[in-house]
Amino acid sequence: MRGAAVLGIGAMVGAGIFALLGQAGAVAGSATWLSFLLAGVVAALLGYSVAKLGARYPSGGGIITFLLEGFGPGHMTAITSWLLYFASIIVTSMVAVSFGSYGASLLADAPPDSLWAHALTTLVVLLVAAVNIAGATFIDKIQSWIVFVLLAVFAVFVVVTLAQMDPSLLAPSTYPPAADIVSSVALTFFAFLGFAVISFTGGDLPDPAKNLPRATYLALAVTTGLYVLVSLGVFGTLTVQEVIDNGETALAVAALPALGQAGFAMMAVAALLATSSSVNANIYAAVGSTAKLAQSGQFPPVFGARARVGSTRGLVISCVLVLGLANLVDLSAIASLGSVVALGIFLIVSVAALRLRAQTGSNVLVVITGIVATAVVLVVFSVQTARDAPETFVGMVAILALAVVLDLVWSSIRRRRTTAPPAPPAPAH
């Protein structure tokens, strides 16, 4: 249970507080802590559905298994699965880029778009591939070590920043309109995506019916509390504009007044640990999900085929896609895409939980509350995005269209393969 919770904490912390704080501040301003709190509440409601499904249907396929149980092997499951895969690749790529940016700043005093940054981004993906080949037990040990060090570092950061904070920087009079705060939840939810990784540990957990829900709730409670305290410390120390200007290194800059360069270096090292941990957890989930999808026929069988060096070819494909996206695409422009796609996926998973409530013993009120809360955030975000950032809205539609096209193409290929007449026997000699 501890290993599963640690895997989830590691995935969430790396994906969120380092890679996202500047972008969240640009929308929610000094109320970013409130945005993280609301996103944590939404994640907890969705986590309830995921945990109940995981307790009833434990497997290495995680969310994919829940979709298959709730909707069967049809178009709904396949399209949602492609969207889940896209979101996973976007999240992993963003976090790998954060690793490269912090590493370049710490080791070579180089800018985020330098050759150093790209080299370190590539290195962390390759190292994570090797860790995943080593297996789940090794992943558990690596994640546990990293997360405990991170929590200790964050404890120091929270104490020193809250001790020196300026309460006027967090005054409610400085908050943006309520609609902006609600809209920002679609972005800060990005920081909680890692909790879904826990659902993929069901096949490895002893007594998953008891341990998977416990691991989910523990990981979400620790992470939500951490995000709220860290964002209060950062926005109580720096102005909103300073947070936006420093982007991914805002935490390290916030540690400077109290701890000096030692504080900057401490947070930079923590960022390297957190982002590498998150890349590791997300790749682990991508390998499990693609293998399950290949086994069920929803994805091409190449994703589940064994690779020459261990694991599956799904690991190889995923790492290649992450490397391409991380090194060739401006990910800051599509950060919100990964988050909003993930919200849509969890909305569909919650509907599956509602359909399977008799089998899982779920509380209907909690499941429906999660569905409604997620739908409200999605609607507000979509309206705001269509008005203020139409190119991002177009990107949302394009990702959905791509998932539909891939499903139709693969469905057509699979149908032709199953209906093709058998080959005639070879003539006797």
**CATH code of residue 408:** 1.20.1740.10
Percentage of the chain beyond pLDDT 70 is: 90
Q: List b or e across 194-204, with b for residues whose CB sees 16 or more CB atoms inside 10 angstroms.
A: bbbbbbbbbeb
Burial degree of 378 (CB within 10 A; 0-12, 13-18, 19+): middle
The whole-angstrom distance between residue 141's C-alpha and the CA centroid of its chain comes to: 21
Q: Which domain holds residue 159?
A: 2-413
Mind listing the pLDDT tens digit for each residue in 307-339? 776 667 888 888 899 998 888 877 665 666 777
Residues forming beta bridges with residue 312, ordered by sequence position: 306
Q: What is the mean pLDDT of residues 60-72?
A: 83
Residue 176, Cβ neighbours under 10 Å: how many? 17
Do residues 202 and 54 make contact, with C-beta atoms less than 8 angstroms apart?
yes
**Tokens, residue 87:** 């979101």
Residue 347 to residue 344: CA distance in whole angstroms: 5
Would you place residue 429 in the very low, low, confident or very high pLDDT band (cuts 50, 70, 90)?
A: low
pLDDT at residue number 365 = 94
Mind listing the pLDDT tens digit for each residue in 183-216? 888 888 878 877 877 877 777 778 877 888 888 8
SS3 306: strand
Closest CA to 61 of 211, 200, 209: 200
Closest CA to 286 of 252, 265, 247, 313: 313
Residue 247 located in a structural domain: yes
Residues forming beta bridges with residue 306, ordered by sequence position: 312
**Is the pLDDT at 98 greater than 90, yes or no?**
no
Would you place residue 139 in the very low, low, confident or very high pLDDT band (cuts 50, 70, 90)?
A: low
Do residues 131 and 310 make contact, with C-beta atoms less than 8 angstroms apart?
no
Residue 335 located in a structural domain: yes
Tally the domains of the chain.
1
Burial degree of 23 (CB within 10 A; 0-12, 13-18, 19+): buried
pTM as predicted: 0.79
Residue 68 to residue 64: CA distance in whole angstroms: 6
Residue 121 to residue 332: CA distance in whole angstroms: 15
**CA 187, 393, 89 angle in degrees (round to 5)?**
60
**Is the pLDDT at 402 greater than 60, yes or no?**
yes
pLDDT at residue number 368 = 95
For 66, residues 6+ apart whose C-beta sits below 8 A from its C-beta are 50, 53, 54, 57, 199, 349, 352, 353, 356
Closest CA to 190 of 404, 23, 400: 23
Q: How many CA atoms lie within 13 A of 395 on its CB side?
A: 18
Residue 51 located in a structural domain: yes
Do residues 27 and 176 make contact, with C-beta atoms less than 8 angstroms apart?
yes
Residue 425 located in a structural domain: no
What's the alpha-carbon Rg for the chain, to the nearest Å?
A: 21
CA dihedral sign, ordered 20, 22, 23, 26: positive
SS3 312: strand
Residue 113 located in a structural domain: yes
**Tokens, residue 39:** 């996103």
Residue 43 located in a structural domain: yes
Q: What is the mean pLDDT of residues 405-410?
A: 90
CA distances from 131 to 110, 122, 134 (A): 28, 15, 5
Burial degree of 418 (CB within 10 A; 0-12, 13-18, 19+): exposed
| String of DSSP letters for 226-237 | HHHHHHHHHHTT
pLDDT at residue number 424 = 60
Residue 251 to residue 42: CA distance in whole angstroms: 25
Average pLDDT, the chain: 82
**Is the pLDDT at 352 greater than 90, yes or no?**
yes
**Tokens, residue 183:** 């809209």
